[in-house]
């Protein structure tokens, strides 16, 4: 097994600590996304894995082999660089064949392998062109082909789609997923775009601004069950409400001063969840039901006034001001051309949500 293991890695650049005692394990053959805000050290971690920079302390393993001090050109890890870094003086073919030429492979072998890689990224026929004459998406594919032609154990992708427009980005995301399925190489994908990460990842890790890992899990785990306030806020949008935790008659409750008492349900036994403690509730905007009339069958109900409406086409986002002044965000799908009730500015609305959909987070 050629998994990647990072153990207690610390790295400072110009006296500033970027990564602090970071440990992480990435199983083989996964599409792994590293997600974090700009400047959180995710690119630095990638550079350490690639060997472009050395660690201050800690170890990096590829499989059982300690590669901490193996020089970059001897690692079986290749990178797709952010701005692609294609060699401008070489044709597409020569760019892709570069690592094979360095290895002194026979020219027939180079030819077949390069053509295969070109086909893999759907660029067959462009081998004689120079990078400068290609579009952004084509350059991206050449960079990809150049990195996979040598069959690395691990492929690192540093914000590979940042320079592409939205439509092309979505197309490339799907191609990347297909490519990873075919190759079964471990892909480590660094991005600050949560939508990209959720789309491609089998597993993802969230890093915070101080270069610490906040949570690792599948996209669904990360989105539905964030374990920290940072993750809940960073991935998707959410409503955070502060309150006090109580247990009454075996029922979990959160009391919010000046508002109401919410019913919550948290099956996991978290050590900090002792009655009387302060905590945050996180409730996703699409999990709140909005209506002008009263409904039955929901475990939580509050009222508020609409202060803002943003129409997105497929959905509408409502900003609803509660009695205590807090504003909640609510998404509603626009399912009908002519909805039964039209919600407008300043309307008094009822908000409903189920207790199972509330995530409790440590204060």
> Which residues, numbered 254-283, are part of the site for another protein (CB under 8 A)?
none
Is residue 15 a contact residue for another protein (CB under 8 A)? no
Q: Which stretch binds another protein (CB under 8 A): 94-102, 131-139, 179-187, 196-204?
A: 94-102
Give the length of the chain: 363
Is residue 106 a contact residue for another protein (CB under 8 A)? no
Is residue 85 a contact residue for another protein (CB under 8 A)? yes
> What character string, x for contact with another protein (CB under 8 A) and - otherwise, covers 196-225?
------------------------------
Is residue 132 a contact residue for another protein (CB under 8 A)? no
Q: What is the DSSP letter of 286?
A: G
Is residue 89 a contact residue for another protein (CB under 8 A)? yes
CB closer to another protein out of 61 and 81: 81
Q: Which stretch binds another protein (CB under 8 A): 87-95, 114-122, 241-249, 302-310?
A: 87-95
One residue of 58, 70, 81, 347 binding another protein per CB under 8 A: 81
Q: Is 86 helix (H, G, I), strand (E, B) or coil?
A: coil
Minimum CB separation of residue 9 from another protein in Å reads: 19
Q: Which stretch binds another protein (CB under 8 A): 130-138, 142-150, 342-350, 355-363?
A: 142-150
CA distance 96 to 86: 9
Backbone phi, then psi, for 281, in 5-degree steps? -100, 140
- What's the sign of the alpha-carbon dihedral 121, 122, 128, 129? negative
Q: Could you give the dihedral angle defined by the CA atoms of residues 233, 234, 236 and 241, in that order, rounded to the nearest 10 degrees?
A: 0
Q: What is the DSSP letter of 124?
A: T
Is residue 52 a contact residue for another protein (CB under 8 A)? yes
Is residue 102 a contact residue for another protein (CB under 8 A)? yes
CB closer to another protein out of 81 and 225: 81
One residue of 31, 32, 93, 98 binding another protein per CB under 8 A: 98
Helices 166-183 and 136-148 sit at what angle, rounded to 10 degrees?
A: 20
Q: What are 232's two structure tokens?
A: 């809940």
Is residue 78 a contact residue for another protein (CB under 8 A)? yes
Minimum CB separation of residue 89 from another protein in Å reads: 5
Residue with tokens 């150049």: 146
Is residue 128 a contact residue for another protein (CB under 8 A)? yes
Size of the site for another protein (CB under 8 A): 27
Q: Which stretch binds another protein (CB under 8 A): 71-79, 177-185, 213-221, 254-262?
A: 71-79
* Residue ranges in the chain assigned as alpha helix (H): 42-50, 92-102, 107-120, 136-148, 166-183, 194-200, 219-224, 229-234
Best CA proximity match to 192, nearest among 169, 161, 171, 216: 161
One residue of 44, 150, 180, 239 binding another protein per CB under 8 A: 150
CA distance 149 to 139: 15
Is residue 50 a contact residue for another protein (CB under 8 A)? yes
Residue with tokens 């993802």: 204
Is residue 185 a contact residue for another protein (CB under 8 A)? no
Is residue 74 a contact residue for another protein (CB under 8 A)? yes
CA distance 176 to 160: 10
Best CA proximity match to 163, nearest among 143, 182, 149, 179: 143
Number of H helices, E strands in the chain: 8, 20
Region for 8 from its dihedrals, namely left if φ exceeds 0, alpha if ψ lies in -120 to 50, beta otherwise: left
Residues in the site for another protein, rule: CB under 8 A?
A: 50-52, 71-74, 77-79, 81, 83, 85-89, 98-99, 101-103, 125, 128, 146-147, 150
């Amino acid at each position: 097994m050629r998994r990647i293991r990072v153990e207690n890695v610390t790295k400072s650049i110009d006296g500033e600590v970027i990564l602090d005692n970071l440990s992480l394990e990435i199983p083989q053959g996964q599409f792994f996304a590293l997600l974090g805000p700009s400047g959180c050290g995710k690119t630095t971690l990638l550079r350490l894995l690639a060997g472009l920079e050395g660690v201050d302390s800690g170890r990096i393993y590829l499989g059982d082999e300690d590669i901490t001090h193996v020089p970059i050109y001897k690692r079986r890890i290749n990178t797709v660089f952010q701005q692609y870094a294609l060699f401008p003086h070489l044709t597409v073919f020569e760019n892709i064949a570069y690592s094979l030429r360095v290895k002194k492979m026979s020219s027939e072998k180079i030819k077949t392998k390069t053509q295969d890689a070109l086909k893999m990224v759907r660029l067959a026929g462009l081998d004689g062109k120079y990078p400068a004459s290609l579009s952004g998406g084509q350059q991206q594919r050449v960079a990809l082909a150049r990195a996979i032609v040598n069959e690395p154990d691990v492929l690192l992708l540093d914000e590979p789609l940042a320079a592409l427009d939205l439509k092309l980005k979505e197309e490339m995301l799907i191609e990347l997923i297909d490519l990873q399925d075919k190759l079964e190489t471990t892909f480590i994908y660094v991005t600050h775009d949560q939508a990209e990460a959720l789309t491609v990842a089998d597993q993802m890790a969230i890093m915070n601004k101080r270069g610490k890992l906040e949570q690792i899990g599948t996209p669904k785990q990360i989105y539905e069950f964030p374990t920290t306030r940072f993750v809940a806020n960073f991935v998707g949008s959410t409503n955070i409400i502060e309150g006090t935790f109580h247990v009454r008659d075996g029922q979990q409750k959160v009391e919010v001063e000046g508002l109401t008492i919410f019913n919550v349900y948290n099956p996991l036994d978290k050590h900090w969840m002792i009655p009387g403690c302060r905590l945050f509730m996180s409730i996703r905007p699409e999990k709140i039901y909005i209506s002008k009339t009263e409904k039955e069958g929901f475990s939580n109900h509050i009222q508020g006034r609409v202060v803002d409406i943003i129409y997105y086409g497929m959905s509408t986002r409502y900003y609803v001001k509660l009695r205590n002044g807090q504003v909640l965000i609510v998404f509603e799908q626009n399912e009908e051309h002519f909805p039964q009730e039209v919600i407008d500015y300043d309307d008094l609305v009822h908000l409903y949500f189920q207790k199972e959909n509330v995530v409790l987070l440590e204060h």
